[in-house]
Chain A
Amino acid sequence: MSEQLYYEDIVVGSEIIPLIKQPTTRQLVMWAGASGDYYPIHYDKDFAQSKGLPGVIVHGQLIGCFLGQLVTDWAGEQGSLRKITCSYKSVNFPGQTLICKGKVNKKYVEDSEYYVECNLWVENTKGEKTTSGKALVTFPARG
């Protein structure tokens, strides 16, 4: 956890400190249990191969939650995630290194709340963006 950021500190165009994840098949099983998503494409290699995939794939929503973690780490305890969107563009495989990134898109004040909007994405080590999204976060202000 880094120090609390304030609205005044946020620079449009700046990048969020990336979050690196390396999901394993074990993590997929843990996610299945925690989320109730037991679709076999995420744990049964034969099933995944019968669907034309080389092996099991990472749950889209687990990736979405990685992006959520990227944002809550950045927003700190005084910031709040108000809205997040994720579009799962291509599949991710366990064993891959996934880099969760974000960039500040705009900031504005509305009804005395300090909003920061950022673009989010997940890159694999080949530089392919497998997931993209957006987040709307409120930050504390020094006033």
Chain B
Amino acid sequence: MVDASSGIERLKNKIGIEWEPGVYEIEKGMLLRFVQAIDDPNPLWQNADHARKSRYGGIVAPPTFILTIGFEQIQQQISASITSGTLLHGDTMLECYKPIRPGDVITATTKITNIRQRQGDKGRTIFINFEITYINQRQELVAKCRQMVVSY
């Protein structure tokens, strides 16, 4: 069991330092599981014949799909450092630059950008900000995302 404050100190030492990038091959099955999970029937995400005739020329991922890439890494890092209390997702910001297609290989690079603590009536609340940059196999920047996680 890691002491809560030493865990936070450990996270604070990582502010601004990029983690080992995660490399993800985007498969059609991943996209299918994603659109089934949100229940989004848009044929652009699933129907190859329909998508071929669109301006994309083939299936693309819904823009929010990228949010699932690398999020696991964030959770693992937080759970390893903060072992007690409750975690909640605070906010999300996503900027989309290029469509993502099945077969793309996405490299997600994550870093903690800020950690703040606030003492309230119910105890201490910690706000952790992350930034994730997504690059495809052609070295094109496809998306950028900021996440804020709250621990209390």
Contact = CB atoms under 8 A, between A and B. Distances in A.
Interface string B86-109: 111111111110000000000000
Interface stretch (B2-10, B59-67, B124-132, B133-141): B59-67
A81 interface: yes
A14 interface: no
Interface string A74-101: 0001101111111110010000000000
Interface residues of A, number: 38
B96 A80 contact: yes
B64 A87 contact: no
A33 interface: yes
Nearest to A52: B86
Given A34-B68, A69-B62, A77-B54, A61 B37 contact: no
Interface stretch (B11-19, B39-47, B111-119): B39-47
Interface in B41-78: 42-44, 54-56, 62-64, 67-68, 71-72, 75
Interface of B: 30, 33-34, 36-40, 42-44, 54-56, 62-64, 67-68, 71-72, 75, 86-96
